Every structure is written in C-alpha cells, then in structure tokens.
Amino acid sequence: MTNITLLSWNVNGIRAIHRKGFLEWFEGVDTDILCLQEIKANVEQLPKKLKDVPNYHSYFNPAERKGYSGVATYTSIKPNEISNSFNIKKFDIEGRFQRFDFDDFILLNIYYPNGGMSDERLQYKLEFYDAFLTYTNNLRDQGNNIIICGDLNTAHKEIDIARPKENSKVSGFLPIERKWIDKFLANGYVDTFRMFNDKPDQYTWWSYRTRARTRNVGWRLDYFFVNEEFKDNVLDSYILSDVMGSDHAPIGLEIEL
C-alpha cells in the first residue's frame, strides 16, 4: 500500500504569497502533490525558484488575461499525461483547468468561476459547472477514478457558511448554485471533508474586510471530491486553517493506493 498526500490552495496571487514565505512553508509540509488556484501570473513573470522547486515537477496554466485567474500544480509523482484544456474556448482562455493522469487516478485542479460580478458572470459560472459535470462523468464512465480539487466558489449548505441568512441572495450561496452541488454529488461524487468532519464553523475563506478571519466569519469554498467508487481509498480530508498568506486556507487529502 502507498499513501499519497495532496494539498489544494487558492493563493490569491502566487507572486504575493511567494513574498510571504510560500516556499518556506512548502518545504516544511510533507505533500506529494500541491495544487494552486488563482495564481494571477504568467510563467515568464515567475522567479526561477517558483518554477523549479526541488523534487517536484511543476505545471502552470495561466489565464490569457494578465494578473487574473490561473492554476498551477507541483507533483513529486510524474504524471503519465497532462492537459490544460477543457476543449471549450471560453473556459480555456481563463486558465481554470488542469488534468493529470496518474496510474491509479486522474487529478483535476480546478478554479471555478466567481459569479458575483454580474448576471453574465453567474451564467458563465453555471455553464462552467454543467460542462465540468459532463466532463467528469465521461471520465468516470470510462472506468477512471477521479480526484477533484479547487475553489468551487460556492458554499454548499448552511453549515458551510457563517451567515447563511444574510448571504442567501449573494453569489456563492445562491439556491441555484447550491442545487448544482446537490446534483453533482447525486451523480456519484463525494465531498471528502464531510466524510470526516460534520462540525459547523469549518471554513476555508474569509473576507479581508471586517477582520473576518479573526472572528471566523467564513465560507467553506474549497473542496476535495472523489468519485464514490474511490472513497474507500480516502484516509483523511482536512482544512489547514492556521496557514496564513491568502484569504483562503489550504485543504488536504490523504489517500491509500
């Protein structure tokens, strides 16, 4: 049996978090794979130290628009195949997707859209959600095990948000967004964190305004999902809420193969 640890973190700017000691933190955590979202940088803008981390293969998928979106993954296990394309141009240009094919599973590192800017962006988010579900179902129906991580930009249930009533008409907790998560899970996927922790006040994002993190007035927006057939391989799923540097906390998943 082999145990593998995966971490996922919306860093809200990889260059910004680099200045806050990201590499020192990374060196101190024992992880096989680290997935980042919202890197907000093109590869040529990154210092060599961020591109060439010892003992890791690094992969970047920035958005076409500078200083926006983008995902990156560091893995000590070399993937058999990688892809940065969803095969839908309006999603691919925003750098929201990475796929890694390993021997025993496929890993998807996803930065899901935020729907709060306008009705058009909410529609874009919902279209991305549906296209993503079609994509993952196709992978699973081909007999693959799937690990999905990233910033979903939606809190699923009232237990996943500190102020549910006040935010019931805010994107990120709209009924239509939450129903999509219900549909996603009903298609045969598992929210791994809730396999191990059914407590309230467990959040992964806190607004920089109003000192929300100090008061733990947050949202659980970041997830590790697996297909139901793979859930017995999951040993643990957790939030590293004491790790600072971003408005999000990293989340972790441990699996056994």
The residues that are catalytic are: 151
Residue 93 has a CB neighbour count (10 Å cut-off) of 12
Residue 64 phi/psi, 5-degree rounding, is -65, -35
Query: Distance between CA atoms of 71 and 241, rounded to whole angstroms?
Result: 21
Instruction: Spell out the residues 6+ positions from residue 153 whose beta carbon is closer than 8 angstroms to its own.
Output: 112, 113, 114, 115, 125, 172, 221
Instruction: Give the angle 89-94-99 at the CA atoms, nearest 5°.
Output: 80
Tracing tokens 């970047």 back to the chain, one arrives at: 60
- Which amino acid would we find at residue 192? T
